[in-house]
Chain A
Amino acid sequence: MNLAALSLEKAPRLWTPVRFFISAPVFGVIAATIVFMDGGQLFQSRWSSASLAVVHAFTLGYIAMVMLGALFQMLPVVMGAALPQAGRIAVVAHLVMTAGTLFLVVAFLLQEPALFLVAIALLVPLLVLFGAGVIVAIFRAGQTLTTGRSVQLAALGLVVTVVMGAWLASGHAFAAVPLDRSFTNDHAAWGFTGWILVLVIGISGQVVPMFLTTPQYPKYAGKGLVYMLVALLCAGSLVPLREFQQLVVVLTSVLMLAWAVLTLYLLGRRRRKRFDITDRFWRVGMLCLVLGTGTNLYAYFGGTVAGADISVATGIFLLPGFAVSVINGMLYKIVPFLVWLNLRVPVVMGKLKPGRKYYTPNIHEVIDVQRMKLQFAFHVAGLLLLVASIFLEGITVYAAATAVLVSSLLLLANLCHAVRLYRKYARQTIAVR
């Protein structure tokens, strides 16, 4: 156990995680732009090049991007030591991540083999190294962190997803490599369950009771649940018997539903009654997890609604609906706090002359609550319109794209406002209250 872990001085500078956080809504803008240009074709099939481009803009550009930033913030604390050169590694990792994701998105849109190759060359080493690094770092830390094991398993899930993705992308890039579409389901299952869901479950065990003042999750809803999900995932990928796989899908769905409903129940029992934007985003996220699990199960057993490809609805519910909502809500807790903390570090570390006082804005002044509410409204409207676009063409599609675009731009503006405020007050060394 390393004592330096406790020190705020070991925390990285603000810009290290924030550069990743600020990039996420930019990829939201890119996703919305693709929907605009596509004009609605992508809602008809999960296999269209535009659907694949949008999915990867969200999973890599938004979800993985924020995860990387959060890990740069968290790892030094977990490892109990400042990552040497963390600031510079973050700059490079961020550039590679951004460029790799852009290449992959454009590769899907243009179906250009060379671009797939560049994307593979950039993303695979970065994400595999990072996943392996997380696994090793947490083992070395050797603490009994409640979230540690889940984060390790999520990192493993990410590595498996990326390796499978690289194989699929090779199918696009080389004529010699067969493009096995059935493999896509395994890639998606590992990506969503093995990586995203396991990570969210692991983090929730700590974050939800503490920061949203709910009762604790029951013991079995933490590590035990994560182990079961990963075991089912492995079994489903390795045993090619149809009936067995059906059983795996049903059991996994039951676990997902149970966890989502449990989380909704806990959020309903928050002790602080005050409005909390993170709480709202998480409720929407959990509701979408319930719906997405339902549509996935329904479509798996061949169900259709009005002849539409229901798996597109599953994608909408699980990615922008569940994962993006949960992350968006977390950003509104993390970013204002980090800005405030970075402004206060000199004071907390006792580096001020005694008797002097700094004025630091409070956390609500870092990002205004009303602005967060406005962005939340556009986010929810975007989700509803996206789902409606599966059944309705024309104006609905453009309305959906507009709502996602505005929501992303508002999030970007809110995060930029927080950074500007940091710069303003960080320069203003001594102020009188």
Chain B
Amino acid sequence: MPSVSEFFSAQHRACDRVFEQLEDAVSQDDWSQADVLYSRLRQDTLQHFVNEEEGLFPLFEEKTGMQAGPTQVMRGEHAELRELLQRMGDAVQARDRDEIPGMAETFFLFLQQHNIKEEQVLYPMADQALQGSLQALSARVPGFSASDRE
């Protein structure tokens, strides 16, 4: 079974790759490919948020007793990221070549600072707090136990 850090960080990297491909598709005016990649990015990102908000975070809160701590901050940032993702999607749908780069950059920068905080602070804490509870996590997060390091 992977550690929390390994599994969730790998999902970050996987989403980053889809995002990069989406930008490439847009810059090459390959809109059908862009649509496919955007829906994949949306699906993967939202699934990752669900994995955290309904799997990792409640367990973390239960084990540490911290209800209003870092998980609350991360939930707030997820809400912002959902909106940015939506605005980027609207721009892709509208084929708005002026709007997409700016929205993509905004999404990307906010996402990266969010990921740094999760990877450097929250996940290492979760690795400690959830020792011995990884089975419980695997019951809530699809693919957690089955996946090795990606």
Contacts and interface: CB of A to CB of B under 8 A. Distances in A.
Interface of B is mostly: helix
B120 interface: yes
A298 B113 CA distance: 42
Contact of A272 (B23, B74, B117): B23
Contact count band on B = 35 or more
A1 B121 contact: yes
Interface residues of A, number: 30
A347 B82 CA distance: 12
Given A3-B66, A274-B27, A350 B79 contact: yes
B76 interface: yes
A369 B125 CA distance: 39
B106 to A, nearest CB: 4
A126 to B, nearest CB: 29
Interface string B18-35: 001001100100000000
Contacts of B110: 337, 340-341
The A interface, classified by DSSP as helix, strand, loop or mixed, is: helix
Interface stretch (B1-9, B45-53, B96-104, B131-139): B96-104
Contacts of A337: 109-110, 113
B65 interface: no
Contact of A364 (B69, B70, B105): B105
Contact of B112 (A211, A347, A369): A211
A347 B122 contact: no
B103 A273 contact: no
A137 to B, nearest CB: 17
A362 B102 contact: yes
A363 B73 contact: no
Interface in A332-352: 333, 337, 340-341, 344, 347-350
A348 B103 contact: no
A1 to B, nearest CB: 7
Contacts of A340: 106, 109-110
Interface stretch (A5-13, A27-35, A285-293, A310-318): A5-13
Contact of B73 (A1, A8, A344, A362): A8
B23 A273 contact: yes
A170 interface: no
Given A3-B121, A273-B23, A350-B79, 5 more contacts: A3-B69, A272-B20, A348-B80, A363-B109, A365-B102
Interface of A: 1, 3, 5-8, 143, 145, 206, 210-211, 213, 271-274, 333, 337, 340-341, 344, 347-350, 362-365, 369
